[in-house]
Every structure is written in structure tokens, then in C-alpha cells.
A and B are shown apart, each in its own frame.
Chain A
Amino acid sequence: MTLLRKPWAWAWIAAVAVYAVTIAATAGASAAGLAQAAFTFAAFSVIVGLGQMFVITLGPGNVDLSIPATMTLAGTVALKFMDGADDRAVAGLAVALGIGAGVGLLNYALIKALRIPPIIATLALSFIVQSTAIWTNRGIRIKPPESLAAFSTGNLWGIPNLAIVAGLLTLAAWVLLERSAWGRRVTAIGQSPAAARRAGIAVDGVRLSTYVLCATLAGLCGFLLSCFSGGAALNMGAEYLLISIAVVVIGGSSVAGGNSNVPGIWGAALFLFLVVSMLNTYGFGAGPRMILTGIIIIAVILAASLRGRGAEGG
């Protein structure tokens, strides 16, 4: 029963239940394929979700709205830089990560310099980043290098490579959040910035590194997504704004900050993908699919609020 008390348990239970219902519709024929697809697509949500989780942990008002624009810019510029050449793959990755880190730095510079809520700073900057992406892209679709395309769509003993990458990042994020001094500081700031400052934590340094980490992960996600889908598209990040927030919250982390967990992000990411494929399998059109997705998100939040009011509310 102690497992059920974990805040992340419900997202996993829901994911498994939806998986079972979907498999039942096809009499088990698609079990392996569906699992593979779910882990591949969940990997993207997990990578941005991990970054968003650290930002949300910092406390109320901390949300990074620039994730979609950062993904698009990083993917576009990296692919343009590599120009399909295999020997530039590593450098291209560095370009994508560098763009991410740069956006993160600018995000925090704006928050600090203008003393504005992070939502507004990241929103304003995302407009500029998105425009830069549109300007660099010019509607030309550049193919990723062969090696990267093969890597991002391939798998190792049946496990998608992307899921392995996301899994390793998840492990690192768990160690960072639960076992490192830095992670404890992030949580402390989320619970009370004033108390954290009095305790001698360099609040600005920790917040800065959190925003840089989040944007860097967004850059990585944009890089992988554009390699996976055979090119960068201007709207490729759009859906990840809502998803990055949804996986954190459905995964059982507190929206008010100061209380996050890593495993829930995987459960929620798998759950969100599987809900859509379940509704697809049962022949729902795009409209009803979206409506049900929305209702399910709200239902999960309601259920979470009924479960533990004191700790989760706010």
C-alpha cells in the first residue's frame, strides 16, 4: 500500500490501465508496437518535462513558456548547421544545446533585470526566439544527417534509442533532485524563497542554473525531434508548451512548487500518449479526442486534490 501513497503512482496506474484497454481493442496484436511507439513519443515529453519540473519546483509563478520556441530554434539552426553532413553531428548537438543554454541565460537575465514574473519574461523572449526561428528557417526543410536520423528512429534490443536517452536523463534528474545539494536547494527555494535566502542559499545562482538547465533540455528535445521527424518544422514545438506543464502536474508534482518527483513524469508522458492512441483505436475523431484528453487532465487534477489536500493544494 505504501507504493500507492507515492504521488507518482497514479500516473503510472492510469498509463497501464489505458495501455490495457487499448490492447484489448486489438486483441493484443499491437502490444509490442504500441509500447515502442509510446516510449518513443513519451521520450520527447519527458525531456522537456524534466526541465519544466525543475522550474516549477522553484515556486509559484515559475513556468518556462519559451520551451516550444527554444525547441524550434535549436532544431532549425542545428539542422542548418549540419546540412546533412554526418561528421558534423556532434557539433550540431553542441549548437542545439548552446542555443538552449543561451535562451535560458537570457530568460533569467530578463527576470532579474526587469524584476518581472518568469511567466512574462519567458513569454516575451519566446516571441523573439520564435521570430528568429522563422527568420532562419525560411520554409526550407533540411534533412538531418543519416547517422542521426538512423539513431533517433532506431532501437537497442527493442528499446527505442530515444527512450534510452530520456531514461538516462531521468536517472540524472532523479539524482540531481533527490540526492544532490543543488536539488535540495531548488526544493527549498520553492518552499520558501525567504527562508532559503536566510539559510545562506545563493538563490539567484540556483534559479539561474535551473532556467539554463530547462532551456538546454528544450534545445536537446528540439534537436532530437527534428532528427526523428526528418527535419525541423516551425510549429514542431507548439504542443510541448502544454505537454511540458501537464506531465509535471499529472505526474504528481505540486504546481505550487517545492514538492516534485521524477518518476511521475514518465507515467504522465506515457499516459498522455496512450490516451490519444486509445481514443484513436476506438475510432474517435480529432475533436472528441481532444475533448476527452482535456477532461481526463482535469479529472486527474481533481482526483489529486481529493487525495491529499494539505500537501497538494494551492
Chain B
Amino acid sequence: MRLSPDLIRLAVPFLALAALLAGVFWLQPRAMSYTGLNLLFNLAVPIALATLAQMFIIAVNDLDLSMGAFVSFAACVTATFLHDTPVLGALILAASVAAYAALGVVIHLRGLPAIVVTLGMSFVWLGLAVMILPAPGGAAPAWLRALMTVRPPLLPMALAASILIALVAHLIIARSALGVLIRGVGGNERSVARAGWSVLRAKAAAYALAGLFGVLAGMALVGLTTSADANIALRYTLLSIAGVILGGGEFVGGRVSAVGAVVGALTLALAGSFLSFLRLSPDWQIGAQGAILILVLALRLGLDALERRRRGRA
């Protein structure tokens, strides 16, 4: 069987996840159950949503260093305004998505470095979050709590939701006209413009989608944890970047995969649980995520080289 490089790229994150899952099951066979899987992937949904948000930004060759702060902000709004005054809460969240779109417009029009603008925005989101919730607290809206703890048949909520989210994001980025345009901007901005498309609109749409998925990540997080605080998701900035790359995305060229990104996020979420099964100290949890990232990238490089050599011989 011949494997195309693209297929390898998509297969590697699945392989990594399968290997990790096999390791967990081998160490603890009881994890191989509905409840076990539910516990293992408990926090996977918000991480997956944040990773997809980052993916839309990376698709247009930018990088969002404010993702963690933004998800924290969305979580704080969800646990306070959306719980107490749903209409106002929804308005604030909608406005923050609009703010993301506006960021995309400003970054494009003025040719600003996205890294620095989002770095500045991370202070803004965090400041707003601290003002909304100076101390940990708030409460999850009842419907959100019910949605996140629903127990669908066959598959645990975390996995079922991840598959659904991956599917929706895949349809947006890989199958829709807008998705093609967004990836086109990442691939070659000038030729997209020459073909008569609006680069500005594509960038605004990519940033708006990132804002939307970031809001959803914050909401999902509150649905699981039932309360929020301003620092709840700060780690998501780096985790989301790692998830996109783990899933076969590239920083330049509009090369991203929604399915890969979700699988990457699941792998990172599982890395933590894996360690506790190995009875290793939780000190190494972050380190394990780094090690898995390095291993997966090495694996991809190895498979790519193998494939190239085979093609050279043929």
C-alpha cells in the first residue's frame, strides 16, 4: 500500500493517541469502560475547542498568544453573566467574538505582527477576567451543566462531543468555500487577492471563528468545573499551539487539519492521566506533554523520510 505524505501526517496523531490509550489500558484494564473513558478524557472537550480556535489563526499564518487568557475570560463571563442574566451574558460573548474579528481586520490592514497584538490582548482579556471574578467563584448555567454531563449511549460525552466538534470544524475548514479561502490566505495571500477574493474578509472570518471556538471552550470548561476563575485556562495558550502542531498543522502555508487538531488535543489531555497510571509523580505531567510532542514530531519526520526513500527507489 502506498501512503501519501498527507495520510502519514494525519495517521501520526492517531497512532500516538492509540499508543497512549493502549498503554493506559494495559496498566489499568478497568479504564477500558464507559466510566473509565469518561474520566480519562474529562477535560478534553474545552482543550479540543481551544485547539481548534488556535487552528483557525494558524491557518492564516498567524499565532494567538492570548488564547488561554481569552478562554479564561469567556469562562468568567459564562459563570457570572450568562448564569445570572443570560441575555447580557450572550451579548458580551457575542461582542468578544466581534472583537476577535476586529483584531483580524486591524492586524491585516496595518500589517501588524499577530504575536505582539495578541500578546497585548492577553493582558486585556486577563484584566477583564480579573475584574469580573476577582476571586474564584461563579456558577455554571444549569442547561450548560446538564449538556456537559449528559451520558449518551455507547460513547462517553467527552469522546462523542470531540467527534462531533472535529466533524463540524472539518466541514468548515476543509469542505466549505470559506475554509478554502482561509487556507488559501495561509498558502499564498497574494494569489488569493489577485484571484479577486477579499483577503481582509478571510482574515476577519478566521479570527471570528477563533473567537467563537474560544468562547465555546470557555463555556464547556465552566460546564465541567461548575465555577471559574481568571487563571482557569492560562495553560491553554501553549497547549492549543502544541495540539495544532501535534495534529499535523504547520505554522505557515495554511496547512492545518481539524481532525488532527482534535486528536492532538485528546492526546495532550490523556498524557496527564497516563502518568498517574504509571504511578509517576504529577510533577512530570507538563513534562510528559512536552515529551509526547517531541516523540510525535520525531515519528512524523521518520515516516516522512521512509516514504521519501521508498518513492526515490520506485
Using a CB–CB cutoff of 8 Å, the interface residues on chain A facing chain B are 61, 63, 65, 110, 113-117, 119-120, 123-128, 130-132, 134-135, 242, 245-246, 249, 255-256, 285-298, 301-302, 305-306, 309, 313-314
Contact = CB atoms under 8 A, between A and B. Distances in A.
B113 A295 contact: no
B284 A297 contact: no
B241 A293 contact: no
Given A113-B298, A116-B297, A291-B123, 6 more contacts: A114-B301, A288-B127, A294-B125, A298-B116, A298-B120, A301-B117
Contacts of A297: 116, 119-120, 123
Contacts of A286: 127, 130, 134
B127 A290 contact: yes
For chain B, give the interface size range: 35 or more
B4 interface: no
Interface in B118-150: 119-131, 134
Contact of B285 (A131, A295, A298): A131
A61 B284 CA distance: 28
A58 to B, nearest CB: 15
A297 B121 CA distance: 9
Contacts of B290: 123-128, 131
Contacts of B125: 294
Contact of B110 (A117, A288, A291, A305): A305
16 contacts: A113-B298, A123-B290, A124-B242, A128-B287, A128-B290, A131-B283, A131-B290, A246-B119, A288-B127, A291-B123, A294-B123, A297-B120, A297-B123, A298-B116, A306-B110, A313-B111
Please provide the 7 A-B residue pairs with the shortest distance between their CB atoms, ordered closest to farther. Answer: A127-B290, A131-B287, A294-B123, A290-B127, A287-B131, A291-B127, A297-B120
B119 A110 contact: no
A113 B238 CA distance: 22
Given A119-B63, A128-B291, A302-B110, A245 B297 contact: no
* Interface residues of B, dominant DSSP: helix
Contacts of B63: 119
B65 to A, nearest CB: 7
B110 A290 contact: no
B251 interface: yes
B293 A127 contact: yes
Contacts, number: 142
A242 B286 CA distance: 20
A114 B285 contact: no
A242 B122 contact: yes
B289 interface: yes
A135 B126 contact: no
A291 B238 CA distance: 21
**Residue with the highest number of chain B CB atoms closer than 10 Å, among A113, A291, A295:** A291
Contacts of B278: none
Contact of B242 (A113, A120, A290): A120
Interface of B: 63, 65, 106, 110-113, 115-117, 119-131, 134, 238, 241-242, 245, 251-252, 281, 283-291, 293-294, 297-298, 301
A279 to B, nearest CB: 11
A111 B288 CA distance: 19
Contacts of B120: 246, 293-298, 301
A294 B124 contact: yes
A102 to B, nearest CB: 16
Residue of B113, B122, B252, B298 ringed by the most chain A CB atoms within 10 A: B113
A255 B113 contact: yes
B119 A242 contact: yes
Contacts of B134: 286-287
Given A245-B119, A246-B119, A288-B131, A309 B293 contact: no
Nearest to B65: A242
B294 A114 contact: yes
Given A285-B131, A288-B131, A245 B115 contact: yes
A115 B121 CA distance: 31
Contacts of A295: 120, 124
Contacts of A293: 120, 123, 127
A157 to B, nearest CB: 36
Contact of A301 (B112, B130, B297): B112
Contacts of A61: 251-252
A277 B181 CA distance: 45
Contacts of B106: 302
Nearest to A289: B127
A293 B106 CA distance: 19
A131 B293 CA distance: 14
Contacts of A63: 115
Given A249-B116, A256-B113, A285-B131, A115 B287 contact: no
A297 B289 CA distance: 31
Contacts of A289: 127
A122 B261 CA distance: 20
